[in-house]
Amino acid sequence: MKREDLRNIAIIAHVDHGKTTLVDEMLKQGGAYRENQQTSERVMDSGDIERERGITILAKNTSIHYNGVKINIIDTPGHADFGGEVERILKMVSGVLLLVDAAEGPMPQTRFVLERALELGHRVIVVINKIDRPDARLKEVQDEVLELLMELDATEEQLDSPMLFCSGRAGTASLSPDVPGTDLKPLFDKILEYIPAPEGDPDAPLKLLVSSIDYNDFVGRIGIGKIESGRIRQNQEVVITNYHTPEAPPVKTKIVSMYQFEALRRQPCETAEIGDIICFSGAENITIGDTICSPADPTPLPFVRISEPVIEMTFSVNDGPFAGKEGKLVTSRQIRQRLYRETLRDVSLRVKDGETADSFLVAGRGEMHLSILIETMRREGYELLVSAPRVLYKTDENGARTEPAERVIVDVPETAQGAVMEKLGSRKGTLIDMGRSGNRMRIEYLVPSRCLFGYRSEFLTDTRGEGIISTVFDRYIPYQGEITTRFTGSLVSFSEGEATSYALYRAQDRGDLFITTGTKVYEGMVIGENPKPGNIELNVCEQKHLTSIRSSGADEKLILTPPREMTLENAIEFIAQDELVEVTPLSIRLRKRILDTALRKKAEARAKK
């Protein structure tokens, strides 16, 4: 049986190449809204953090109807740290729209997601997006996409993939770069023509592969997947099996409720058949990669294992002097419950109890992956301490130590090329490729993941904010030896109270400050960066002694340099291994692990012996 009334596609691309904006226009032109309905920009990015940062974190399902055909569309994340989301949803679709920016061309995540799609044998429609950019390079980008397809061993059919030219913001598409489009009909027509319709045996035993997970406090875990064979109905008795654990007996369960995706809503349904993407509740311990089967044939469908985490951080209870003053969820029990609840929704995350009852080891795909979790917890009212990130090492079959490495592509002005190459070289980077594009250079490196910690801020400084850096996990490589990634020290407060203008004016000659007048500080709090290695202890609460000659009015003449604002990502990048970030709903503070100055100096002396 072939479902000519259905198509399943995913939109894949590098971060910020316009996936979500294009989906917005597809929904508008596909009749998802009433004519007078008010809509928000990037409606698929439903989370606050997604909207603020302009990135997609979780894959989203939607659908449109065109010429009597339902097109299920999955908008996927573009950031490498959420690559686990992309790997999974590709199992739900029959083809992909590969979006490529008309100026930037293929980027690291473009390669990563395209390689996965080609491995699965998916048909690809190449969409050159943002053709209305003044710096668009349409001819060159077409060649770069073809070169990438050849490099990834695409089949002859995949090499003949159709290519469209779009402006997601304007909602136009055309088959030729020289003919401007007026709407997205050429794109819709090409999807119906080129993407294969789902097919299978509707009378065969049920097979549904769970490719994504949602979570709801009322019904628990919600499985999302595509029906590969057979039919499914509400209240049906089924069994859960998994391809990677064939020895485990099938688990019996019941499908309590089912929904299909209609535009931006989940529409309740009683039955579904081959090719339908549904979400269902009732299977309590369902996880990604499980197969929902008929009890008559509990054979699981194959599924690629989710990529393992490569970075780990320690989350712990805030034990500083200001603990409990700004957050309402502060105990180890509350933090533990929240972290383990996150693993129900995010299968790329690993959580286990730490060495003490108040600490937890949290592993993820990258710094962005974990910082999003921390920011989400912070907004929910949690207060906690987080450590500097560290990579997870492995041992190969010969017993040698290996470490994760990233493929790094930098796009920099020609004047910054030398500084960037020098820094990446000192961070154990191996040059893979280099090319010129106008007056800019595109350089590709393979760099150990741990050597990139703290580099982004240096990179922006070296390129005066004009550089673009993209990274994606590549593979595990032999351990590259010790390396120093931070060559500066910290300015540390040895007093508690409020910072004064007088003390800060005297302190700013020692380095860059992170605080301003009136900021509450405590002993052991990191208040700035020392441009030289080592820590400097300062009293930033000192008051100026008043005499008949020196009056308090003289403070008005003190000119303070504006402090450096430390966002959560900046703080995580900056801290050394003996420092922590204190995260509360209202503040981001940096501090030493050992707050007491005398005890800290003794510990540092012991470490040097």
Q: What is the CATH number of the domain that holds 79?
A: 3.40.50.300
- Domain assignment of residue 566, yes or no: yes
- Domain assignment of residue 304, yes or no: no
Q: What is the CATH number of the domain that holds 494?
A: 2.40.50.250
Where do we find the tokens 């533990």?
336
Q: Domain count of the chain?
A: 5
Please state, for a pLDDT cut of 90, what percent of the chain lies above it: 22
Domain check: are 325 and 449 in the same one? no
Domain check: are 506 and 580 in the same one? yes
Q: What is the CATH number of the domain that holds 273?
A: 2.40.30.10
Domain check: are 507 and 415 in the same one? no
**Continuous H helices in 262-390:** 332-345, 367-379
- Domain assignment of residue 470, yes or no: yes
Please report the DSSP string for 496-560 in residue order. -EE--HHHHHHHGGGSEES--TT-EE-TTEEEEEESSSS-EEE-TTPPPPP-SSS-GGGGGG--P
Q: What is the CATH number of the domain that holds 362?
A: 3.30.70.870
- Domain assignment of residue 169, yes or no: yes
Q: How confident is the model at residue 548 (pLDDT cuts 50, 70, 90)?
A: low
Reply yes or no on whether the pLDDT at 83 is more than 70. Answer: no
Reply yes or no on whether the pLDDT at 189 is more than 80. Answer: yes
- Tell me the CA distances in angstroms from 472 to 66, 414, 497, one per residue in order: 36, 23, 44
Which of 436, 453, 478 marks a domain boundary? 478
Least confident of 75-79, 219-223, 368-372: 75-79
By the 8 A CB rule, do 388 and 331 touch? no
Please report the DSSP string for 303-319 in residue order. -PPPPPP-EEEEEEE--
Q: What is the pLDDT of residues 340-352, one digit of tens each?
A: 988 877 777 899 9
Domain check: are 23 and 148 in the same one? yes
Q: What is the pLDDT of residues 565-595, one digit of tens each?
A: 888 888 998 898 899 999 999 999 999 999 9
The residue-averaged pLDDT of 416-443 equals: 87
Reply yes or no on whether the pLDDT at 249 is more than 90. Answer: no
Domain check: are 177 and 261 in the same one? no
Phi/psi class of residue 500: alpha, beta or left (left: φ > 0; alpha: ψ in -120 to 50)?
beta
Q: What is the CATH number of the domain that holds 431?
A: 3.30.70.240
Q: What is the pLDDT of residues 303-315, one digit of tens each?
A: 766 667 889 999 9
Which of 373, 391, 409 marks a domain boundary? 391
Domain check: are 239 and 154 in the same one? no
538/213: higher pLDDT: 538
- Domain assignment of residue 484, yes or no: no
Domain check: are 79 and 227 in the same one? no
Domain check: are 106 and 11 in the same one? yes
Domain check: are 99 and 126 in the same one? yes
- Tell me the CA distances in angstroms from 593 to 165, 209, 318, 323, 597, one per residue in order: 54, 46, 11, 14, 11
Q: Please, is 185 exposed, middle or buried when counting C-beta atoms within 10 Å of its C-beta (0-12, 13-18, 19+)?
A: middle
Strand partners, 449: none
Q: What is the pLDDT of residues 49-75, one digit of tens each?
A: 434 444 333 345 788 888 888 888 887
Q: How high does pLDDT run on average in the chain?
A: 83
pTM: 0.76
287/323: higher pLDDT: 323
- What pLDDT is attached to residue 19? 72
437/122: higher pLDDT: 122
- Domain assignment of residue 202, yes or no: no
Domain check: are 73 and 175 in the same one? yes
Least confident of 94-108, 204-218, 547-561: 547-561
- Domain assignment of residue 40, yes or no: yes
- Amino acid letter, 286: I
Intra-chain end-to-end CA distance of the chain, in Å: 74
Domain check: are 229 and 277 in the same one? yes
Domain residues for 96?
Answer: 6-194
- Domain assignment of residue 303, yes or no: no
Which of 444, 478, 512 marks a domain boundary? 478
Domain check: are 375 and 461 in the same one? no
- Of 108-112, 243-247, 313-317, 563-567, which one has max mean pLDDT? 313-317
